[in-house]
Amino acid sequence: MPVSEAELASLASTRDIIHLGLIADDLRRQRHGLRTTFVRVADVPAVSVEPPVLPPAAGEIRICGVPATLAQAVSRVAQVVAAAAGAPVSGFSLADLEALAGAERAPLRTILEELHAAGLELIAEAPFDRLQDARRAVEEVNIAGLALARLTLQQLESTFAVALYQAVAALQRDVAVVRAFAPLPRLLNPAVPTTGYDDVRRVALARLVVDNVPSIQVDWSRYGPKLAQVALTVGADDVDAVSAIDDAPEGRRRAPLEEIRRNIVAAGQSPIERDGRFEPR
């Protein structure tokens, strides 16, 4: 870790977000220079029998939702893969698949291997704080021939951020297959939303603590362009969930692709579009 435990404790409670952001940005630059990657994602529901209509611009097709049975999940994966025209297909939460394994009375690896056999390339997300056995579950993903698109957090109290990030870093030391970590919580409370200071502090601390995961990721659709752009200046280097639908009913400059590029450049960085495999497009 690039800062000492004492410094980290001080930074975790600081309100000097500019100082904290500067340290995180410096680390980000050492690792990625000015490159900021983004991926355009097309979401398709897990529970549907309708063949998906997929936008050709998608760099990742993501199956979202909780399948009721393994058979349903496998069938849906095969259907989506057939329509994906070679684009990488990700799907499901690893925590939901752990639960499915329990319900099916099958080993998690069997579930994962069957999904892989149906054409799934990546598990869409592994919510660290929801996994029953994070290390084992992530290792099973790897053994089954799948990749993990991102490690996420379902919920995150500010006071526990550093401890949780340290646990994430420890997991990566064990498994070494996590390519991206999204430190902002997936579950938002609209009655008490996180603040700008909360989010900036969490992204910056994640860059400092989880220094063994290549990418610190921010979600464009969940957190919005404004916060996502600011996150790029305090340690984040990858933007997830940019819309793959590139219609521009409100003018070319407001089309998703143009907007993400414009925001990255305005943050002083160079946009690189990638696909779900983290390969440049």
Partner 1 sequence: MTIDRIADKVAAGGRIDAGEALALYRCAPTPTLGRLADAIRARRHPGGIVTYIIDRNVNYTNVCVAKCSFCAFYRPVGSAEGYVLGFDEIFRKIDETIAVGGGQLLLQGGHNPDLPLEWYEDLFRAVKARYPSFRLHALSPPEVIHLSRLTQKPIGEVLDRLIAAGLDSVPGGGAEILVDRVRRALHCYGKATSAEWLDVMRHAHRAGLRTTATMMYGTVETGEERIEHLMRLRALQDETAGFTAFIAWSYQPEHTELAGSEATAVDYLRTLATARIVLDNFESLQASWVTQGGKVGQLSLGYGANDMGSVMLEENVVRAAGAAYCMDEMEIVRNIEDAGFIAKRRNMHYEILGDPIFRDREIPRMLALSTSRTGGGGSSPEELRMYSARSLAGKRDRRQD
| Contact set with partner 1 (CB under 8 A) | 15-18, 21-22, 25, 192-200, 224-227, 229-230, 233, 250-251, 253-254, 258-259, 262-263, 266-268
Q: How far is the CB of 267 from partner 1 (least distance, A)?
A: 5
Cα gap 142→275, rounded to integer Å: 19
- 218 close to 203: Cβ distance less than 8 angstroms: yes
Cβ nearer to partner 1, comparing 132 with 195: 195
Cβ nearer to partner 1, comparing 198 with 246: 198
Cα gap 25→267, rounded to integer Å: 12
Cα gap 42→59, rounded to integer Å: 8
Cα gap 79→15, rounded to integer Å: 49
Q: How far is the CB of 192 from partner 1 (least distance, A)?
A: 8
Q: How far is the CB of 214 from partner 1 (least distance, A)?
A: 23
- 246 close to 240: Cβ distance less than 8 angstroms: no
Nearest to 240 by CA among 125, 154, 80: 125
| CA distance to 70, 124, 130, per residue, from 91 (Å) | 13, 5, 17
Cα gap 181→12, rounded to integer Å: 18
Cβ nearer to partner 1, comparing 13 with 69: 13
Cβ nearer to partner 1, comparing 14 with 166: 14
- 87 close to 120: Cβ distance less than 8 angstroms: no
Task: Give Cα 111 distance to the centre of its chain.
Answer: 22
Q: How far is the CB of 263 from partner 1 (least distance, A)?
A: 5
Cα gap 197→137, rounded to integer Å: 33
Cβ nearer to partner 1, comparing 123 with 236: 236
Q: How far is the CB of 118 from partner 1 (least distance, A)?
A: 40
Q: How far is the CB of 203 from partner 1 (least distance, A)?
A: 12
Cβ nearer to partner 1, comparing 94 with 182: 182
Q: How far is the CB of 165 from partner 1 (least distance, A)?
A: 20
What is the DSSP pairing of strand 60-64 with strand 147-148? unpaired
Cβ nearer to partner 1, comparing 86 with 190: 190
Cα gap 215→218, rounded to integer Å: 10
